[in-house]
Structure 1
Amino acid sequence: MKKNDLLRAVLAVTCVWMLTAASWPTRLPAPSRAPARAYTLVDKRDPKSLKSGFESLMITNCAYGIMRLGDNDIDPHLTVLLDDALAARFGDRLAGKQITLDGFAVHLNNALALRNQMTSMYGGLVDTLMNKKKVGCAAEDLSGGYTVGEVQPGMAPIIAAVSVHMDGKTYFGRGIVEAKVPAPPRKKAEQSAKDAWNASVAAAVAQALADLADKLEAGLAPGAVAEAPLTP
């Protein structure tokens, strides 16, 4: 089979998934109070990250098959949850600071299952193209990467990751939970499925924000060293 034929087959398998990405807006617990922003937030996220879709449909790409849940399809928006987490943890301790939001992303990474499906259909050619079954470009990135040992075999993780920089230092927070379903539930799905999906995403986001807050806390300590920048 030619590579162009393989690509068309990959698109056929994944196009249905893409249509489901925004079929049910992900609803997360809203803050019980209006977050008080004591700092200045500069949002420099890539506009692409605000839209739901796949990071890549090319099987040779390390981000192949990773579904992005765009902030436009998350209620409340992730910046609201960021403000709430920082206000709860730091209060006025960040007053006068400028925090630049480089990225805040939520992904469903079912790439391993997709690659295995394509391997069963097209054999050796896919084994060569899939580049040793990567499940992301890096274990810690903004594109939904993870390492196999982080979740049980056969489970697809939901991964939340947030990256900011403040006072010349970069801080990265990450959360990962096992997804119960291979795609966001449709509008006509049972409410229990929607609730389970929302709870899983909420757990991943909460983990990422807690991790970020811990890193910021350490970074505020005298003599703290900045984290290494994320690799693209």
Structure 2
Amino acid sequence: MKALLALPLLLLALVVTGCSDEDNTPSTDGNTNGTEIEVGGGDALQWGDGGYGVVLAHGAVFDAASWERQAAAIADQGATVIAVEDIAPESIAAAVAKLQNDGHADVALVGGSAGADAILQLASQQPDLSDQLVLLSPNRVVDGLGGEPKLFIASEDEPVANVSQQLADSSPGDDNVVILLPGSAHGQNIFAGENADAALDAILQRLAN
């Protein structure tokens, strides 16, 4: 189902999640800061030890630790989460291989901006690698993606907002969803604004499926 979630639904989600940061912060019973590990010869951070695998790839001006709040929340709902420091496709693939070798049959790839682009490059080369894709503000359209479920999140007024819809429309699979949030924040900067909780909630719901 290729879908564009309407603004009224997004506003409703914001109302449901509440207004204060204190009320909206997900439970983070695990290590919020993550555990330092090595993946494919590079540095990475790991949260949780659940059965589902998730690899996070940050944007160009961010680092692995920038995912702390989101990674801890994802881990809390039953995942093992690895945030790579090097966002080259090879490093992301190495993180997937580690999770799979550790017994995680299904691994989702989550990325923001440059990290989303690296995931798209990897997924176009290995379309059967991941269980699903969750991408914030991808910057370019690629061919060769697989039929795995895909969630694209962007801000409606950012310059690359249309890329998410183009990817959803052109990619195989019947579960390609686009969420356009109010404003112009790009990539992980969405988590620094008023739409942070709506974005995180959408990611958590998707990864829980």
TM-score (norm 1): 0.29
Q: Which has the larger radius of gyration?
A: 1
TM-score (norm 2): 0.31
